[in-house]
Every structure is written in structure tokens, then in C-alpha cells.
Structure 1
């Protein structure tokens, strides 16, 4: 299972880097989404995947190898919220850019400069 998630992380990083380098602002934002999701999966993968039990301790003391680590889960939850805020902010900037220039192409930004 870990190898499949590692391949998925690599594919997401590759697709995200490709999309960030495109000229369209919308493709840039999609690339940010891919990079954010790849990073979240990478944090989960680096913490180790534990199938089965959650990280709650009951009256019987289970061994630590069968418990999930709650720290990466909390970090990824925080990263999801921050990533969502970043994407919403980037979409608001895209909307304002489109209203100002009338285009989605970043090369058109050079034509709006007044020297």
C-alpha cells in the first residue's frame, strides 16, 4: 500500500509542478491544489500507515505499534485548512485579475504595465 501512495505522491508533485509552470492562472491554481494534496499525502506516508485502530487508549493498554500517530493527522488537518485558504485567496486574485485585464493568460500581464 505504501508503494502505491508513494507513486501517487510522485505523480501529484509532477502534475503540480507542470501546472504551476503553465501560463494560465487557473492552471496555476490547480497546480497549487495538486502540490498541497501531494504534501499532505507525503506527511501521512512518512508517519507510517497503521491499519486498524485509531489513536485512542482504552482501559487495556495496547502496544504502541498498533496505534496510529495523531500528530501527522493534526498536521495534515491544519495543512488542509491553510491550503483551502490559500486556494480561495488565489481564486479571488484571479477574479480581480480577470476583471482588470479581461484575460486569463499571464503573458497578457506584460501588456498592462504602464512605464
Structure 2
């Protein structure tokens, strides 16, 4: 059984990873997904579970989900071709960690 300290720790971890995602998206000049993660962060900071649920919904798959997103100059992003793989690897690593934390917290809260 999880306790409040576990939820608090995973919430803090979620926010750290989500802020990294936010920074990467901002640096790349991405608008849509930046708004999405910024809203999720604001919700979680305001103690709203909806922020975790928003992130989980973005990863449920299907066309247009975050899983399909790629930072690339051809998509209008401010990244060099040489950095595409590194930036996307970092983005997905941070996003995946945020998703794992969001799943943990929502399950612990019975959502």
C-alpha cells in the first residue's frame, strides 16, 4: 500500500520531469505540446489530479498523440538536423518518466 509520502515524492518527480519536457518543447519552438504540458504542470501545482490525467491522455496512442510527436526542422522546430536524435531521445526519456509518475499517483489516488 502506498502512503502520502510516496505520492508526494512521485508528484515532485512528475513535476521535475514535466518541467524538463516543458523546457525542451519551449527551446524547440513547439506550441501545441508546450501548452499541453504547461497546463498539466499548472494543474498538478494546484493539487488537481486532472494534470496527471491530461498527461496520461496524451500518451494513450492513436493519431495525434504525443507518442507520434517528433522535434525536427521539417516540423518548424528550432533544432539542427545533427541534434534531432539527441533532443528527441531526451524528450521521450523525460516524458516517459513523467508518465510513470502520473500513473503511480493516479493509481495511488484510486483514479
- How high is the TM-score relative to the length of structure 2? 0.37
Where relative contact order (Cα < 8 A, 6+ residues apart) is larger, the structure is 2
TM-score, normalized by length of structure 1? 0.36
